[in-house]
A and B are shown apart, each in its own frame.
Chain A
């Protein structure tokens, strides 16, 4: 019973966490209010769907069971690349003006939603492939080529190559997977492979396998991002720029590169969240929008600029949702006084539990406006 409750709380929390992790980096570390975060998740979810259909082709059919794992990487790359492009074209121009960023990213979110509605997914995939090639092909050349005066021609021709590759792959996919060849506003469905369906028994309690899988995805993402931020050279640069942009700039850290990288990683994590979310429900243009409020809530509650806070906040909200929403307190303490049990019963529905949790968060933020774990030290814009 208690185990069941704890598991449920962790399961709900890990969905929140994986969705909010990317935002914790983009909003928490960079201070960018990215309203298109949900749409980057949506791209991840659609990537899962496309990967699933491609793995149904005769050539890849034997490896079908592995498609979810593969799609995690694909989703990371797809959302990451779109995020990088977004940073380079829109957000870079708007650093330090949060209101304009908010409006611009909201616009981008609408564009992305309409994009998946009106562009056949096969060509969407082709476009993403050409973006990936176009952005990364120039960086494979040796530094000698890069420093030469004619590098802009190399860049230009690699974009042409990328465009060709995109058109070809789009056509190839559209001719081989008929489901992807027509645009549709209809929601699509990701079906988990057989080994991920059903339940598994641990300590006499049954747990759904998809939920376990999401917990594992979340765990791996959290560990990977923590290691990256704390152990790698780029991670340290990111933290340096977060703490004091001018000083880092003076010390020779390329803040521009750091911004692109941070935003790319945050967006990539949104893609991974998209994979997780696609396992739970259907995939549609609005799938990300449903999570965006929850994501911001988690990041604000946890304390902006602090990953640990995000983790605690999401599991805290998850466990509270389950405790209140499923009326657990009543079964833990069956003979509580009547007025109290009536109150608990009143809040023991999904809608009211949400109201209760929002209210609790508002009250909590009255006393600790900077969240659970406030960032200490000098922040860039403060």
Chain B
């Protein structure tokens, strides 16, 4: 083989150069502050996840700008202006760990806001635990994890799938009919579906089939024939969809062609389709199906409207806000409050002050629980022909997050509590 050593060395240098040059950040220095404090923002700005994750960077910058405009963070009588360093995780999980190390060791940031995929979080977790740093993670995820060094502001499965399953089984047009579960083949859909299956068992419902599409695969013909075979005898039913990204487009295009539509009695409940995705997939394919989220852009409260309007004013009127962005927005504010209560940027004090923090978020009041997850409201929405959700129902008050899945046999009966040193990550209830 005639690949010379020089070429390999060249390649290595080139990739190193890319790594070194990819940082930016900072913000202007107006107003009067005693000192600046620099935080880290770590999302993918390139690669496949860039489209989704860059919206979080935008939202976090907006929250920081708002806090600065209102006087910054006040700690020990001194006002601090928040500055930030944005790092690119490049849709590559080891890069997330590497950039975390850089932010913590080299830049000395007190907190990092970052991540989207579970794979990126799993890659970062050991870094934060070994350096006792703090990561704020804004995405709805599969739980089964509870780190002292991560604060999870997205929904845990019981804050999304449980109310949704309850709604679909009891009050949807397909109430009482059997369920079919479809998802992408990775950890979130499988975990979420174990909850759905167990929950349906206790409700008396039936799951007649389940299938997972390998990531990147868009051939859904076998799944469609299975759905038809399973649900046609009952004249339709409920499909729980946890497919990821573009696979949804293939799925919805093809099920519509195959006659699996609301008008024929098939209703799809989606856990990964928010306002942004509705407009990319096309509302004509999604009309009449459902979604479950903590935040929906159509929430009719002043806080929600202001959040959407501010974002549009900053980034363009064609932009939308969705649940992950709201989560990202909340976590910046919650960090600010915790720091102010702790009176220091020092990690262990902030962590202690964080639990119990409440915030009037765009979705309504949220509260940080001892398991480092967020108690929040859950909403069920019907997808409208023109896009967006019509909110059908919302839970009475907040739903409490479960870090350990109470339907999964291996974690049943366990919980997490970081306020009590004897309990910690995982203790028996």
- Please list the residues of chain A having a beta carbon within 8 angstroms of any beta carbon in chain B: 4-5, 8, 11-12, 15, 99, 185-187, 189, 191, 197-199, 206, 208-211, 279-282, 284, 286, 289-290, 321-322, 325-327, 331, 348-351, 353-354
Contacts and interface: CB of A to CB of B under 8 A. Distances in A.
Given A350-B217, A351-B185, A99 B246 contact: no
Interface string B210-248: 111110111101110110010000000000000000110
Main secondary structure of the interface of A (DSSP, over half): helix
Nearest to A354: B214
**B210, B217, B223, B253: residue with the most chain A Cβ atoms closer than 10 Å:** B253
Nearest to B52: A186
Contact of B246 (A279, A282, A322): A282
Given A282-B246, A331-B229, A211 B217 contact: no
A97 to B, nearest CB: 8
Given A286-B246, A349-B210, 6 more contacts: A187-B249, A198-B259, A209-B257, A282-B246, A286-B48, A326-B222
A349 B254 contact: no
Contacts of A198: 257, 259
Interface in B260-299: 280-282, 284
B219 A321 contact: yes
Contacts of A210: 253-254, 257
Interface in B51-75: 51
B253 A350 contact: no
A325 B217 contact: no
Nearest to A99: B1
B3 interface: yes
A284 B246 contact: yes
Contacts of A191: 282, 284
11 contacts: A4-B225, A15-B219, A185-B51, A198-B257, A208-B254, A210-B257, A279-B253, A281-B253, A349-B212, A350-B213, A351-B214
Contacts of A286: 48, 216, 246
Contacts of A208: 254, 257-258
Contacts of A289: 216
Nearest to A114: B46
A350 B223 contact: yes
A290 B218 contact: yes
Nearest to B210: A349
Nearest to A186: B51
Contacts of B309: none
Nearest to A323: B222
A343 to B, nearest CB: 17
Contacts of B210: 349
A373 to B, nearest CB: 25
A191 B281 CA distance: 10
Given A349-B211, A351-B212, A281 B226 contact: no
Contacts of A322: 221-222, 225
B22 to A, nearest CB: 15
A197 B253 CA distance: 9
B52 to A, nearest CB: 10
A187 to B, nearest CB: 5
Given A99-B1, A185-B51, A350-B213, A280 B254 contact: yes
B256 interface: yes
B184 to A, nearest CB: 10
Interface in B182-221: 185, 210-214, 216-219, 221
B320 interface: no
A350 B214 CA distance: 7
B257 A282 contact: no
A271 to B, nearest CB: 18
Contacts of A279: 253
A199 B226 contact: no
A197 B256 contact: yes
Nearest to A5: B225
Contacts of B212: 349-351
Contacts of A209: 257
A281 B221 contact: no
Contact of A326 (B50, B226, B254, B282): B226
B250 interface: yes
A209 B222 CA distance: 17
**B185, B225, B280: residue with the most chain A Cβ atoms closer than 10 Å:** B225
B246 A321 contact: no
Nearest to A284: B246
A134 to B, nearest CB: 31
B225 A282 contact: no
B357 to A, nearest CB: 35
A281 B50 CA distance: 20
B318 to A, nearest CB: 10
A321 B222 contact: yes
A280 B217 CA distance: 12
A189 B216 contact: no
A185 B50 contact: yes
Contacts of A99: 1, 3
B254 to A, nearest CB: 6
A76 B268 CA distance: 37
A331 B209 CA distance: 15
A99 B3 CA distance: 9
Contacts of B280: 186-187, 189, 282
B222 A280 contact: no
A186 B281 CA distance: 11
A325 B222 contact: yes
Given A290-B217, A321-B222, A325-B222, A199 B211 contact: no
B172 to A, nearest CB: 25
Contacts of B254: 208, 210, 280
List 8 A-B pairs, minimum CB-CB distance, nearest first.
Answer: A281-B250, A325-B222, A282-B249, A208-B257, A281-B218, A326-B222, A326-B225, A351-B185
Contacts of A348: 226
Contacts of B226: 326-327, 348
Given A326-B225, A350-B217, A280 B282 contact: no
A214 to B, nearest CB: 11
A170 B254 CA distance: 33
